[in-house]
Amino acid sequence: MSAAAAGQRPGKSIQSRGCAPQLALLSGCGTAFLYDLENGKRSVRLDKLVDVLQVLGLELQLRPGKAGLTVEPLPT
């Protein structure tokens, strides 16, 4: 899944599910950061993004070429 698509999945958003406060607490970031992330803000802090992805059981992979950024589930 592309990084752009990660924040734009169909279905209910983090905000509308009421999960933002818990996710913010667990990841150590604010709900404003989660809102920006989910709404496709083009510039976010990488360290905070990685923290959120870890809480969600995802990892960020950087690949050369057209693939660019992807977000994948962590290996189990």
Output 33 or 65, whichever has higher pLDDT. Answer: 33
Interatomic CA distance for residues 14 and 20, integer angstroms: 6
* Domain spans in the chain, listed from the N-terminal domain onward: 3-73
How much is the pTM? Answer: 0.68
Interatomic CA distance for residues 36 and 74, integer angstroms: 23
For the domain covering 3-73, report its CATH number.
Answer: 1.10.260
pLDDT digits (tens, 9 = 90+) for 20-59: 889 999 999 999 999 898 888 888 899 999 999 999 898 8
